[in-house]
A = this chain, B = another copy of it.
Amino acid sequence: MNYVIVIEYLAVIVSAIYGVLLASRKGMDVMGVFAVSFAVAFGGGTLRDLFLDRTPLFWIGNPHYPMIVLGIAIFSGFLVRYISRIRPLLVFPDALGMALFTLTGTAYAMDAETGFFVAALLGVITGTFGGVLGDVICNEVPSLFIPSPLNATCSFAGAWVYLGMTQLEILHPFALVSGIAVIVLFRLAAVRWNWCFPAVREPAAPVDP
C-alpha cells in the first residue's frame, strides 16, 4: 500500500491548493482559507475512513497532513498572488485532486473487501466530496449536480480502469497511475469540449432561485 500513501500526500497538497484558490476568490481571511482548504483536502478521505470504519482517520494518524495544509493556508497570500494569474489552471488541481483521492478511496475499499461496485462508488465519494464541501462552504451550488462538464463520471471511469487492471494482475503502481491518468485526461477533455449529460427533464417553469 506504499504507493497509495504517496498518492494520498499528493492528493492532500493539490486539494489544499485548490481550496486556497477557491476561498481567496471569496474574500476570506487566513482562517477561512485554512478551513476551506481543510475541508477540500480532508472531506473526501474523512468520509471514506468513517464509511469503512478505518481508525485513526488518515489526517489524525498522519499529523503531517494537517500541518501541510496549515502551512499552505499561511502562505496563501503569496501563493494567490502568483497562481491566480493562471486562473484557468484552477481546473487542473481540481481534476488531479479528484483523481488521486478517487484511487485512494477505491484502493482502501478493496482492502476492506467490499465488492467492486461499492469500491468504485467509495472512490467517487472520496474523490468528489471534498470539492462539493468546498463549494457548499463558499456558498456556490455544487457544480457536480447540475448539467456541467462530466465530473463524477470521470472519477467512476478511472476507478473501474484501476479495478480492471488489478484483476488482470497488472503491477499495482501501474494500475494506480493508469486510473489517475484516465480520470485527469477524461476530466480535462470534458471541460475542454464541454461534454455534459442532458438534464433528465426540463426544470419546473419558475425555477427556484
Question: What is the interface of chain A, defined by CB distance below 8 A to chain B?
Answer: 20, 23-33, 35-36, 46, 50-53, 55-57, 59-60, 63, 66-67, 76-77, 80-81, 84, 112, 114-115, 117-118, 121-122, 137, 139-142, 144-147, 150-153, 196-204, 207-208
Q: Which residue of B lies closest to A66 (CB)?
A: B121
A-B contact pairs, 27 of them (CB 8 A): A23-B145, A24-B201, A25-B201, A25-B204, A26-B146, A26-B207, A27-B146, A27-B199, A27-B201, A28-B145, A28-B199, A29-B146, A29-B198, A29-B199, A31-B144, A32-B147, A35-B144, A51-B60, A52-B56, A53-B53, A53-B55, A66-B118, A76-B200, A80-B201, A137-B142, A137-B145, A140-B208
Q: Which residue of B lies closest to A125 (CB)?
A: B38
When distances are taken between beta carbons in the complex, the residues of chain B under 8 Å from A145 are 23, 28, 31-32, 35-36, 137
When distances are taken between beta carbons in the complex, the residues of chain B under 8 Å from A76 are 200
Least CB distance from A95 to B in Å reads: 16
When distances are taken between beta carbons in the complex, the residues of chain B under 8 Å from A53 are 53, 55-56
When distances are taken between beta carbons in the complex, the residues of chain B under 8 Å from A201 are 24-25, 27, 77, 80-81, 84
Determine if B152 and A31 form an interchain contact, defined as CB atoms under 8 angstroms apart.
yes
Determine if A203 and B29 form an interchain contact, defined as CB atoms under 8 angstroms apart.
no
Instruction: Tell me, in angstroms, the Cα distance from A150 to B30 when the chains sit together.
Output: 11
Instruction: Tell me, in angstroms, the Cα distance from A150 to B34 when the chains sit together.
Output: 14
Q: Which residue of B lies closest to A26 (CB)?
A: B203
Determine if B147 and A27 form an interchain contact, defined as CB atoms under 8 angstroms apart.
yes
Least CB distance from A29 to B in Å reads: 4
When distances are taken between beta carbons in the complex, the residues of chain B under 8 Å from A137 are 142, 145
Determine if A25 and B203 form an interchain contact, defined as CB atoms under 8 angstroms apart.
yes
Determine if B144 and A32 form an interchain contact, defined as CB atoms under 8 angstroms apart.
yes
Least CB distance from A82 to B in Å reads: 12
